[in-house]
Amino acid sequence: MFFAVTARGSEAADAPTIADVDRAVSLATDYLVASCQPDGKFVYSVDTVTGKTSSDYNIVRHAGAMYALAMAYRVKPDPKIAEALKRAGEYLRLNNIRPGPTFKEHHTSAVWAAPLHQKGDEKATLGATGLGLVGLIGLASVAPDSVSRGELQSLGEFLRFLQKPDGQFRSKYLAENGGKFSAWGSLYYPGEAALALVSLHQAAPSEKWLSAGVAALEYLAKTRAGKTEVPADNWALIATAKLLSLPKSQTGAIDRERLISHAVQICEGILPDQIENASPPGLDGGFKSDGRTTPTSTRLEGLQATLEFLPADRTALRSRIEKSVREGVRFLIRAQIQAGPYAGGVPGAVATAEAPAATDIRVDYVQHFLSAMIRYRQTLTNHENAPTSSAP
C-alpha cells in the first residue's frame, strides 16, 4: 500500500497546536513501541509498499530510539513505553556491550558495532558508546533497577579513553593487533559523547565526567570559531543545552559565552537553508530540496535546544528560530503517516516534483521526528498563549 503525503491544512495556516503535536507524539511513540520486538531489537527499516523489512541493523540508531522513548515516557508515563525501553536496553546489553581496554586502571565497557554472536571486525565507536550510554541513562530514569551505576560508569570510562587531552575525540577503536584507533572521524559523534558525559555527571556526579563533557564542547567551539561554514551539529547543541542547564555552582568556570557563540554560529548556518515559498508547496518548512524528512527533524532538535539557553536579549535570533521551528514542525506533521498499519511512521522523504514520496520508514527517521516533536510540545506548554484550537 502506498502512503501519499498530504497536507493537514493550508501552507498559510497558523502554528501547530498542542493537540496537533500531542497526536504526532502519540503516533510516533506508538510506532516505536510496536516496532520494538520481543527480543528488544527494533524493526530497523520497512518498505510500506511491500511490507519487506531490512536485515540491516545499526546499534547507534537503536540507542537513539531508546533516547527518544525515554523522552516520551517523561512526557506521558506509560507501562508500554517502559517495557519497550527495558526490552531495548536488554538487547543492547546482551548483544553489543562488552569489555573494552583498561584505562588509567579503570575497566571500560564499549558498545561494539557487531553483536556478540557475529564474527568480523571488532570495532567500537564513539557514537555507539555515547548514545548507548544516553539510552541506558534514560532507561535507568524509568526503571532504576534495570541498569547499575557501575555499568554506566564503565561506558563513561571508554569515552574518556577515546578523548585526547585537548578535548578532541577519536571516533573509532579497533580491537585488532592489541588495539588501535582508526583515522576516520565523525561529525556527530563528539556531540553525542558530550551529551553522554554530561548526562552521566547528572546520574552519577563526578568532576571527571563533567570535565570531559565540557572539554569536548569547548574543543568544538574553539576549532569552529570564525569559520563561515559550520555543520548543522544538532547533538552539540543538545549537549550544550544539557550542560548549561546545570546549576552555575557546578559550571561557574565554563566559558559560557564561547559555547553560546558556537551555538549561534550553528543556528546561523541552519536557518538560511529552510525552504520557503516552494513550488510545489509541500516542501515548505523543510531543509532539503529532495524532500528528506530527517534533516528537518535533527535541525529542529538543535534549534529548540538552543532556545533553552540563548540569552533573552537575543530577541531577533530567538524570533527567527521560533518561526523556523514552527514551519519545520508543520512540514514534519504533514509528512507523518496518519493511519493504517504504519501509522506514526515517518517516510524518508516527501514527494517532490522530481520524485514520489519515499516508501521506507527507518527507526531513526521516527526517533528524530519524535525527539523534535517532544521538544516543541514542551515549548508550547511553556507559552501561556499557545494556540489551543487545531489549525484549519
Number of helices (H), then strands (E), in the chain: 13, 7
C-alpha grid cell, residue 233:
551539529
Instruction: Count other Cβ atoms within 10 Å, centred on residue 277.
Output: 8
| DSSP for 3-25, written as a single string | -----SS-TT--PPPHHHHHHHH
Per-residue CA distances from 204 to 153, 183, 237 (Å): 8, 32, 22
Distance (Å, whole) CA 66 – CA 85: 6
DSSP string covering 197-219, please?
Answer: HHHHHHHS--HHHHHHHHHHHHH
CA 275 to chain centre: 22
Q: What is the pLDDT of residue 52?
A: 97
- Which set of grid coordinates corresponds to residue 148? 547499575
Provide the residue type at 25 as one letter. Answer: V
Q: Report the pLDDT value the prediction gives residue 177, as an integer from 0 to 100.
A: 67
> Angle CA(162)–CA(168)–CA(170) in degrees, nearest 5?
40
H or E segment and range at residue 36: none
| Residues 281 and 8: beta-carbon distance below 8 Å | no
Q: What are the residue boundaries of the structural domains of the chain, listed by start?
A: 18-382
The pLDDT value recorded for residue 253 is 85
What fold characterizes domain 18-382? Glycosyltransferase (1.50.10)
Residue 116 host element (H or E): none
pLDDT on residue 353 = 83
Whether 376 and 8 have beta carbons less than 8 Å apart is answered as no
Q: How many Cα atoms are found within 13 Å in the side-chain-facing hemisphere of 191?
A: 25
Chain-centroid distance, C-alpha 107: 28
Helix ranges (H only) for 36-148 are 59-75, 79-95, 126-142
Hey, what's the cell of 284? Answer: 515548505
**What is the H or E stretch that residue 283 is in?**
none
Please name every residue paired with 111 in a beta bridge, in sequence order, or none if there are none.
97
pTM: 0.92
Cα–Cα distance measured from residue 272 to residue 357, given in angstroms and rounded to the nearest whole number: 24
Q: Give just the sign of the alpha carbon dihedral 98, 101, 102, 108.
A: negative
Can you give the pLDDT at residue 388? 44
For residue 354, the model assigns a pLDDT of: 84
Contacts of 4 (CB under 8 A, 6+ apart): 351, 357
Residue 186 near residue 171, CB atoms below 8 Å: yes
List the chain pLDDT tens, one digit each, 392 residues: 222 333 333 333 478 899 999 999 999 999 999 999 999 999 999 999 999 999 999 999 999 999 999 999 999 999 999 999 999 999 999 999 999 998 888 889 999 988 876 665 689 999 999 999 999 999 999 999 999 999 999 999 999 999 999 999 999 999 886 788 888 888 999 999 999 999 999 999 999 999 999 999 999 999 999 999 999 999 999 999 999 999 988 887 899 999 999 999 999 999 999 999 987 778 999 999 999 999 999 999 999 999 999 999 999 999 999 999 999 999 999 999 999 999 999 999 999 888 888 999 999 999 999 999 999 999 888 764 444 444 32
Dihedral, CA atoms, 114, 89, 159, 253, nearest 10 degrees?
160
